[in-house]
Amino acid sequence: MTLSPSEFANEGDNQLFQAIKTRNWKDVERLLQEQPDLAKQHDEFDNTPLHSAIGFQCPDDLLLKLLQTHPGACQIHGTDEWLPLHVAAMWGVSQNVMEALILAYPYGLDDSGQNSHKGRSPRHFSGRFEHNRALLERSTEEWEQIKAERNGTAKK
């Protein structure tokens, strides 16, 4: 996800996108409480608020709240056909946020951007932020097992 001038706040964005793109974190928090369905809307580039919040370096607690509000956002391709996990791997997030994104959709680690000419998975960016390298390089199967164990659905 490369932020072009057209991806900054504009009139076509809903209130949540505008708050994210202007880094008004108090409004983001308020809107997530008052109008959680805004987290499910897309912008003109098919980004979800989660994509944008990662790109605009939203605080961890709000990123996790966005993920909790709309976990399905982890499977949605936005700008450059990237998932939120691509954006996180490219632009950087904390280990806690990276782990939460991976656990929400472990198969995103292997996604190379559906129909994208760039063909890069989030793993491609594992060297950009050393603190997330091990998380991005762990196998999808291991992540699926961790997810199952945490959900109490692991095979015994």
Q: Please list the pLDDT of the chain residue by residue as tens digits (156 residues).
A: 444 444 565 677 899 999 999 999 999 999 999 999 999 999 988 999 999 999 999 999 999 999 999 999 999 999 888 999 999 999 999 999 999 999 999 999 999 876 655 678 999 999 999 999 999 999 999 999 999 999 888 776
Q: How many CB atoms lie within 10 A of CB 147?
A: 16
Distances (CA, A) of 134 to 46, 92, 126: 29, 14, 8
Residue 7: predicted pLDDT: 55
Residue carrying the six token digits 């308020």: 30
Q: How far apart are alpha carbons 88 and 123 in whole angstroms?
A: 11
Residue 130 maps to a domain:
yes
Residue 133: predicted pLDDT: 96
Query: What range defines the domain where residue 65 resides?
Result: 5-151
Residue 70 maps to a domain:
yes
Residue 120: predicted pLDDT: 87
Residue 153: predicted pLDDT: 86
State how far Cα 95 lies from the chain centre: 13
Question: What phi, psi does 89 have (nearest 5°)?
Answer: -70, -35
Return the CATH number at 93.
1.25.40.20
Residue 119: predicted pLDDT: 78
Q: How many domains in the chain?
A: 1
Measured torsion, CA atoms of residues 139, 67, 37, 45, in degrees rounded to the nearest 10: -60
